[in-house]
Amino acid sequence: MKNLLILTGLLISLSSYSQSFDGVPISGDLNTAVSRFKAKGYSVLRYLDQGVQLKGKVANRTFELFILVTPKTKKVFKMTLYLDEASSWTDLRSTYFSMLETLTNKYGEPDESETKFITPYYLGDGYELQAVALEKTDYHSYWFRRDNLTVGVEISKFKQVKVIYENVLMIEIKNKEQSEIENNSF
């Protein structure tokens, strides 16, 4: 039984370690992740209750990176990138489809994908950026449980393309810790 527990722990740690962004695991200790990103030239913008906000550049794209941690053990469970704000619908849409192509090449076809406007807005009406800001668009693609990783790309209301990386096992730990906090509080 003890050997089975050790093997299970080893598999979980290897599986969670293999998920990364720019070579930094989406798991483990926040300070270690921040140090590794700083060594790559990222700068810390601010620390948050639930993580840290960094500024960085990969593949000639600048972005802000949010690293989120579990509420109790403070282990990394999610990284979210916001690419630079677009000044036109054409640029925003082009960036979205460029990231979609990059992620599709890496993870295969998305499990879920949507590209639509919500009435009264529509593609070609000249008010696309206004629709984005008012959350009257739904441009997203998600890849679920790809080797313990969920990945998404979206157009956010901030007129930015948002890329999400979630470590599935660490999300489960985050949810368990949050549940324990709530059960002890209410």
Same domain, 75 and 93: no
What is the number of structural domains in the chain? 2
Q: What is the pLDDT of residues 145-165, one digit of tens each?
A: 998 999 999 999 999 999 999
Decide if 124 is inside a domain: yes
- What's the pLDDT at 174? 95
Same domain, 70 and 2: yes
Q: Which domain holds residue 143?
A: 85-159
- What's the pLDDT at 185? 81
Same domain, 89 and 79: no
Q: What is the pLDDT of residues 54-99, one digit of tens each?
A: 999 998 899 999 999 999 999 999 999 999 999 999 999 999 999 9
Same domain, 48 and 64: yes
Same domain, 79 and 93: no
Same domain, 61 and 104: no
**Average per-residue pLDDT in the chain?**
90
Same domain, 2 and 48: yes
Q: Is the pLDDT of residue 33 over 70?
A: yes
Cβ partners under 8 Å of residue 109, min gap 6:
none
- What's the pLDDT at 110? 98
CA-based end-to-end distance of the chain: 36
Q: Is the pLDDT of residue 143 over 90?
A: yes
Listed residues 83, 105, 127: the one ending a domain: 83
Same domain, 51 and 108: no
- Starting at the earlier edge strand, list the strands of the sheet with 137-143: 43-48, 51-58, 61-69, 76-83, 161-167, 149-155, 137-143, 112-117
Decide if 112 is inside a domain: yes
Question: How far apart (Å, rounded) are the C-alpha atoms in residues 161 and 115?
Answer: 13
